[in-house]
Structure 1
Amino acid sequence: MTPLPLPLPRVPPPLQRPATDAPPCHRAAEERRAMLGLGTYGTAREAARAYDAAAWRLGRPRGQMNFQDVYTLQQALDVAPPPRLNTAQDRVEHAERQRRLLVAQEDERVMAEWRRRHPKDVAYEQVYWARRREEDM
């Protein structure tokens, strides 16, 4: 007779996840238990308002809300801002930023490999720049 596997401990999911503290164009809110993407907002306050509206819709108790000044679902919906729309221009700018980031990461990787393979050149370069700084003074 084979032993039965032990059941995994039951860990309750976190009750709420507030808005992330990211740059304004990347702030987003999400309701964790239901995995609802609530959109992208300009400020953490707007993202928190959107989170509260979603939490009201899911029947969360008022004590779990970010703002205690809202008493009904309708009030929560009224104060929650609409998510920022991603336009074609936003997507083009994002793709360009991603491309530049990949180029910079590859450049850093190649330079690290060069430094590892050519330590004498690295030492020479450091001496060269030290002399240049002395001459500029």
Structure 2
Amino acid sequence: MQALRDFGVTGFDVDDVVELGIHNVTARYIAEMKEAGLKDVDTEELVEMRIHNVTPKFVRELREMGFSNLPVDELVELSIHHVTPRFIRAMRQRYGEHLTLNQLLDMRLPVWKKCWAAANFRLFTNRYRFWHNIPAKTCIV
């Protein structure tokens, strides 16, 4: 509980502490996240980061690459879609240093996910194949 106070988390109760324990959010994890530069994070965000494998190393490497002060939801989104520092380095080497996080996410997401909101279609799955009724001009990638 002292680690939470040191991190700046206030107003937590026993339920919050139990949830942190269930998801293995340890004092060490909290301290390392603080060292990595995260500030003003509540217990729900700590749990969300732990569930989605946002590590202190991940946060630190992103900061070293110029992506500092990222909100927790962006860190989680990057982790979910496997936009790793290694992937970012590879894309920067290929396309240049100017890439934004949104561009990097677009490079990582499958085409059908990018088109999902833009195209009103149904996605049918059968073993390893996808059939869908997207018109050819609906999604340009």
Name the TM-score, length of structure 1 as normaliser: 0.22
Name the TM-score, length of structure 2 as normaliser: 0.21
Larger Rg: 1
